[in-house]
C-alpha cells in the first residue's frame, strides 16, 4: 500500500518528470522494435516446425525423399494417348521453371523387370491401344506407383516437386505462378479434362500466411473501430475513450520493444498471443481506473485529486491482478519445453510492463488539461443507470444466496465433469483455411491416397547379422505386417514390395538377386547394406494426434516385442508426424498442467493478499466456472485441446481473476468502512459492476468480430474468449456475491439494520 501511495504522489504531483520518463521509455522501446536480433544457432526441438504447428505438413515422395509440394492432378482416364501427352506437357513446363529442381510422377518411375531394362511405365503418346492397356496393368501393379503416386482407382496422380531455392524470388514462384504454369500447359489440350491443384508443405504454409495476414489486419481494424465506437457510446466522452485506449497501446509498445531486445519474440506463440493478452488486461484495468476518475470528477474533485484517488483505491486491485496473472504465466517456467517457457516469460514480463503503463498513463493524462472535462457524459452513463435499475438482481442474489451458491457449486462440478472429456489434439483442419485450394487438395489426397504424410520404421542391424540376408528380409516382412494391421496407416512400402513386383513364384526372401536390377536411388531409399539400414514407409491421414498417438504406441510396443526375436536388430518408429505429435502433445500438456498450477498459485496469492483462507476458497468457484463452461462447449462442438485453446484458457483466466479481484477489493474496502457484509456487496456491485460490464461488453464485441475469420484456429480462439468472458461476468456478478453472503455472514455487524 505504501508503494501505491508513493506511485500516486509521483504521478500526480511530479507530472513533468513522469512524462519525461515515459517519453524516454517509449523511445527506448521504439529502438527495441528496430533492433534485429542475431539469427538463432539452433532451434528448440520442442517447438513446432516452421515457426509453429500451424505452418506444417511433412511430405514425402514415393522414394521417401522430402518434397516441397505436390501437384495433385485428377483425370477421368490416365491410360489414353491424349491424357499422357497433356501430362507430359504439364511436367515439361514445370521443369522449365528456374525455381523447380525436380518433378517426380508415374512416368519417371522405371519399370522393374528381370532384364534390368528401365524403360518408362507409360508408352509413347502415339502407341497403340494395346500398349496403353498393357501399361495400365504394369502401373496398377507397380509398388512405387499404386497407392504412392497414383490412387487405387487410377484417377488421382501425385507429382512431388522439389524446389531450387536459389532461384525462388517470391511466394508466387512456388505457389500461384507454378499452378498457373501447369494449368496453362494443360489448357493446350482442351479435350483432356484435368483438374490441377497444388498442396504440400510450402503451398499450405503460404495459404495460411496469406490468410493470417489478411485476417490479422482486417479484424484488427474492425475490432479496434468497434471497440472505440462502443467505448465512446458507453463512456459518452471521446477523451475518456482515447485515454483508456492509449494506455494498453503504450504497454504493448514498451513490452514488444523490451522483448525484442531480449530476443523473446522469436517464439511465435508470444508474438501472436501477447498483444491480445496485453490489450485485454490493460483495457480491463484501464476501464476500472477511468470509471473511478469520472465518478470522482463528477463528485467535484479536481483532476489531480481524482487521479490520485483512482491510484489509491483502484491501483492496488490493478497491481494484484497483474501480480496474479504474471505469477500464473510464470508457472509456465517449470514446463519441459523451452517453447512454453519462453511464452511464459514473455507474458509475465508483458503483464507487469502493461500494468506500469496503464497505472501511470491514465492518471497522468487525467491530471492534466485532458482531465478537465473527462467526466462529461458521466451523468448519462448507460451501464451505471442500467445497474441501478437492475438492483433487483443483487437483491434476489442476496435473498436466495444459499440457492445461488448451491447452483454455482453444483453447476461448476457438473461442467467440470464434462470438461474432463477434453483431450489434446492437433489436426491440420483445425488450423488451415479449409476453404483454400491447397487444403482442399490435401483433403482429397487423404481420401484418394491415404494422406501425404509419412511415418517410417527403421530396421537397423549390427555386423553379426550382415551375412544373413534372409533374416534381414524376414524382420522387414514382420515389421511391415505390424503396420498393415493398423487400418489408419495406409500403403506400407518397403524393399519387399519392390522385390515382389518381379515375376516369379519364389518367396520374396529368395529374390535377393533382383536387388542388383533396381536403380541405385530406389534401392538406397529402402535398403542400405553399407549403413545396415532398411526403411519401411507408410502413409497417414490428417486424423490428428489424439487418433494416431495410441496407434503409434501399439506399433512401438509390437516392434519392441519383435525386436526380442532378432538379437542385434533395432526397430524404431520415426518420422515428423511421430516427433511433432509427441512434442505438441507435451507442449499442450505442459500448458494445461501449468494452467492448473497457475490456478492454485492465484488461489494462494489471493488468500494471502486478502489475509483470508475463506476468501481464497470463495474465489475458486467464480474463477473456475467460466473455464469449465468453455471446456464443455469445446467438448460439445468436438473441438480438441490444442495450443491455441490452452492459450485462450490462460488469457481468459487472467480476465476472470481481474474482475474477481476488483470486486473483492471494493467489497473489502466497504466492509472495513462500515462492517455490513450485505451492504458491502451491494456497494461493490454498484461500484465496480459498471466497469466489469463495460469491459465484458467491449471485449466480447471485439472478439466476436473474429468469429467470421476463415481460419478455424482464430474462430475457436474467439469463441472460447467470448464464452469465457461472458461466463466470468456471471461468476463475478452473481455467484461471487452469493458465496460472499453465505460464507461471510458471521462478519456482519448490523446487516439487518441496513434495510
Task: Decide if 46 contacts 338 (C-beta within 8 A).
Answer: yes
Query: What secondary structure does DSSP assign to 115-127, as a single string?
Result: T----BSSPPTT-
Q: Predicted confidence band at 611 (pLDDT cuts at 50, 70, 90)?
A: confident
C-alpha cell at 443: 483433403
Mean pLDDT of 335-346: 78
Q: Predicted confidence band at 119 (pLDDT cuts at 50, 70, 90)?
A: low
Task: Decide if 366 contacts 298 (C-beta within 8 A).
Answer: no
Taken in order 596, 597, 600, 603, is the CA torsion positive or negative? negative
Answer whether residue 379 shows pLDDT above 60: no
Write down the pLDDT at residue 509. 59
Taken in order 88, 92, 93, 95, is the CA torsion positive or negative? positive
How many other C-beta atoms can be found within 10 angstroms of the C-beta atom of residue 105?
Answer: 24
Q: Predicted confidence band at 466 (pLDDT cuts at 50, 70, 90)?
A: low
Mean pLDDT of 320-347: 79
In this structure, the dihedral spanned by the alpha carbons of residues 714, 717, 720 and 721, taken in order and rounded to 10 degrees, is -100
C-alpha cell at 338: 523451452
Q: Which residues of 597-630 are buried (b: 16+ CB within 10 A; e: fewer)?
A: bbbebbbebbbebbebeebbebbbbbbbbbbbbb
Answer whether residue 52 shows pLDDT above 60: no
Task: Choose the weakest-confidence range: 65-69, 175-179, 373-377.
Answer: 373-377
Task: Decide if 303 contacts 372 (C-beta within 8 A).
Answer: yes
Query: What secondary structure does DSSP assign to 647-715, as a single string?
Result: HHHHHHHHHHHHHHHHHHHHHHHHHHHH--HHHHHHHHHHHHHHHHHHHHHHHHHHHHGGGG-S-HHHH
Burial class from Cβ neighbours inside 10 Å (0-12, 13-18, 19+) for residue 656 reads buried
CA atoms of 283 and 289, how far apart (whole Å):
10
Answer whether residue 743 shows pLDDT above 90: no
- What are the distances in angstroms from CA 441 to CA 73, 197, 366? 9, 6, 56
Phi-psi region of 494 (alpha: psi -120 to 50; beta: other; left: phi over 0): beta
Question: What domains can you pick out in the chain, each with its CATH number?
Answer: 2-41+206-428+582-754 (1.20.1640.10), 68-199 (3.30.70.1430), 441-541 (no CATH)
Q: What is the pLDDT of residues 492-542, one digit of tens each?
A: 998 888 777 666 555 655 666 666 666 666 677 788 878 889 999 999 998
CA atoms of 705 and 715, how far apart (whole Å):
9
- What are the distances in angstroms from CA 436 to CA 52, 205, 342, 432, 665? 19, 11, 32, 8, 50
Element spanning 446, H or E: helix 437-449
C-alpha cell at 498: 519392390
Q: Predicted confidence band at 646 (pLDDT cuts at 50, 70, 90)?
A: confident
Q: Which residues of 480-504 are buried (b: 16+ CB within 10 A; e: fewer)?
A: bebbeebeebbbbbbbbbbbebbee
Burial class from Cβ neighbours inside 10 Å (0-12, 13-18, 19+) for residue 261 reads middle
Cα–Cα–Cα angle for 272, 275, 278, nearest 5°? 140
C-alpha cell at 520: 541405385
CA atoms of 35 and 452, how far apart (whole Å):
40
Write down the pLDDT at residue 159. 94
CA atoms of 275 and 270, how far apart (whole Å):
8
CA atoms of 400 and 377, how far apart (whole Å):
35
Mean pLDDT of 320-340: 77
How many other C-beta atoms can be found within 10 angstroms of the C-beta atom of residue 644?
Answer: 25
Answer whether residue 223 shows pLDDT above 60: yes
C-alpha cell at 466: 550382415
Task: Decide if 576 contacts 200 (C-beta within 8 A).
Answer: no
Task: Look over the chain and give the mean of its residue pLDDT values, rounded to a whole number.
Answer: 81
CA atoms of 282 and 278, how far apart (whole Å):
6
C-alpha cell at 114: 528381370
Answer whether residue 449 shows pLDDT above 50: yes
Answer whether residue 327 shows pLDDT above 90: no
Which residues have a Cβ under 8 Å from the Cβ of 225 and sit 6 or more positions away?
A: none
Answer whether residue 688 shows pLDDT above 90: no
Burial class from Cβ neighbours inside 10 Å (0-12, 13-18, 19+) for residue 246 reads middle
Q: Predicted confidence band at 754 (pLDDT cuts at 50, 70, 90)?
A: very low
pTM: 0.75
Amino acid at each position: 500500500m505504501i508503494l501505491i501511495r508513493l506511485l500516486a504522489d509521483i504521478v500526480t504531483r511530479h507530472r513533468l518528470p513522469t512524462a519525461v520518463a515515459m517519453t524516454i521509455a517509449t523511445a527506448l522501446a521504439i529502438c527495441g522494435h528496430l533492433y534485429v536480433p542475431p539469427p538463432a544457432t539452433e532451434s528448440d526441438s520442442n517447438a513446432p516446425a516452421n515457426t509453429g504447428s500451424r505452418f506444417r505438413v511433412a511430405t514425402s515422395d514415393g522414394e521417401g525423399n522430402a518434397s516441397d509440394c505436390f501437384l495433385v492432378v485428377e483425370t477421368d482416364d490416365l491410360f489414353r494417348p491424349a491424357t499422357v501427352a497433356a501430362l507430359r506437357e504439364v511436367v515439361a513446363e514445370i521443369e522449365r521453371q528456374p525455381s523447380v529442381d525436380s518433378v517426380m510422377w508415374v512416368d519417371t518411375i522405371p519399370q522393374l523387370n528381370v532384364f534390368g531394362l528401365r524403360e518408362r511405365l507409360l508408352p509413347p503418346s502415339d502407341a497403340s491401344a494395346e500398349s496403353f492397356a498393357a501399361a495400365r496393368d504394369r502401373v496398377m501393379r507397380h509398388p512405387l506407383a499404386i497407392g504412392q503416386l497414383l490412387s487405387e482407382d487410377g484417377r488421382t496422380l501425385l507429382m512431388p516437386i522439389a524446389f531450387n531455392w536459389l532461384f525462388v524470388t517470391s511466394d508466387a514462384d512456388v505457389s500461384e505462378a507454378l499452378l498457373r504454369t501447369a494449368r496453362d500447359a494443360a489448357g493446350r489440350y482442351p479435350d483432356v479434362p484435368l483438374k490441377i491443384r497444388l498442396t504440400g508443405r510450402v503451398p499450405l504454409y503460404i495459404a495460411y500466411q496469406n490468410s493470417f495476414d489478411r485476417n490479422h489486419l482486417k479484424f484488427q481494424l474492425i475490432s479496434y473501430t468497434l471497440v472505440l465506437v462502443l467505448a465512446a457510446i458507453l463512456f459518452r466522452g471521446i477523451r475518456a475513450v482515447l485515454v483508456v485506449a492509449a494506455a494498453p497501446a503504450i504497454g504493448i509498445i514498451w513490452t514488444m520493444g523490451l522483448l525484442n531486445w531480449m530476443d523473446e519474440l522469436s517464439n511465435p506463440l508470444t508474438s501472436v498471443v501477447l498483444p491480445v493478452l496485453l490489450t485485454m488486461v490493460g483495457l480491463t484495468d484501464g476501464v476500472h481506473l477511468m470509471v473511478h476518475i469520472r465518478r470522482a470528477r463528477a463528485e467535484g474533485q479536481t483532476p489531480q485529486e481524482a487521479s490520485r484517488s483512482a491510484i489509491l483505491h483502484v491501483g492496488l486491485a490493478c497491481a494484484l491482478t497483474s501480480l496474479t496473472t504474471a505469477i500464473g504465466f510464470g508457472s509456465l517456467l517449470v514446463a519441459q519445453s523451452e517453447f512454453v517457457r519462453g511464452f511464459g516469460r514473455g507474458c509475465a514480463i508483458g503483464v507487469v510492463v502493461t500494468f506500469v503503463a496503464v497505472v501511470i498513463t491514465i492518471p497522468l493524462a487525467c491530471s492534466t488539461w485532458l482531465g478537465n472535462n473527462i467526466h462529461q457524459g458521466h451523468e448519462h452513463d448507460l451501464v451505471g443507470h442500467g445497474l441501478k435499475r437492475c438492483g433487483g438482481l443483487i437483491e434476489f442474489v442476496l435473498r436466495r444466496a444459499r440457492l445461488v451458491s448451491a447452483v454455482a457449486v453444483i453447476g461448476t462440478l457438473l461442467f467440470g465433469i464434462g470438461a474432463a472429456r477434453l483431450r489434446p489434439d492437433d489436426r491440420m483442419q483445425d488450423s488451415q483455411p479449409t476453404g483454400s485450394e491447397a487444403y482442399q487438395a490435401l483433403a482429397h489426397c487423404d481420401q484418394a491416397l491415404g494422406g501425404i504424410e509419412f511415418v517410417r520404421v527403421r530396421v537397423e542391424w549390427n555386423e553379426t547379422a550382415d551375412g544373413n540376408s534372409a533374416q534381414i528380409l524376414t524382420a522387414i516382412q514382420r515389421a511391415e505386417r505390424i503396420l498393415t494391421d493398423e487400418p489408419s496407416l495406409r500403403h506400407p512400402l518397403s524393399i519387399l514390395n519392390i522385390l515382389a513386383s518381379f515375376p516369379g513364384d519364389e518367396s520374396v526372401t529368395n529374390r535377393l538377386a533382383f536387388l542388383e536390377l533396381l536403380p541405385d536411388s530406389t534401392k538406397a531409399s529402402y535398403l542400405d547394406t553399407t549403413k545396415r539400414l532398411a526403411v519401411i514407409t507408410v502413409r497417414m491421414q490428417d486424423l490428428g494426434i489424439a487418433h494416431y498417438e495410441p496407434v503409434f504406441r501399439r506399433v512401438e510396443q509390437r516392434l519392441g516385442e519383435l525386436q526380442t526375436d532378432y538379437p542385434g536388430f533395432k526397430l524404431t518408429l520415426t518420422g515428423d508426424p511421430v516427433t511433432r505429435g509427441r512434442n505438441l502433445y507435451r507442449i499442450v500438456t505442459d500448458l494445461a498442467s501449468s494452467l492448473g498450477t497457475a490456478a492454485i498459485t492465484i488461489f494462494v496469492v489471493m488468500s494471502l493478499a486478502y489475509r483470508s483462507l475463506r476468501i481464497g476458497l470463495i474465489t475458486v468457484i467464480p474463477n473456475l466456472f467460466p473455464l469449465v463452461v468453455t471446456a464443455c462447449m469445446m467438448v460439445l462442438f468436438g473441438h480438441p485441446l490444442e495450443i491455441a485453446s490452452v492459450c485462450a484458457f490462460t488469457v481468459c483466466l487472467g480476465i476472470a481473476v481481474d474482475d474477481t479481484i476488483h470486486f473483492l477489493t471494493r467489497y473489502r474496502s466497504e466492509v472495513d468502512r462500515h462492517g455490513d457484509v450485505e451492504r458491502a456487496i451491494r456497494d461493490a456491485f454498484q461500484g465496480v459492476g459498471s466497469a466489469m460490464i463495460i469491459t465484458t461488453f467491449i471485449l466480447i464485441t471485439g472478439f466476436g468480430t473474429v468469429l467470421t475469420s476463415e481460419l478455424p484456429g482464430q474462430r475457436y480462439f474467439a469463441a472460447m474468449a467470448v464464452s469465457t468472458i461472458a461466463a466470468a461476468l456471471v461468476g463475478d456478478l452473481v455467484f461471487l456475491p452469493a458465496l460472499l453472503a453465505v460464507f461471510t455472514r458471521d462478519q456482519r455487524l448490523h446487516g439487518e439494520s441496513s434495510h
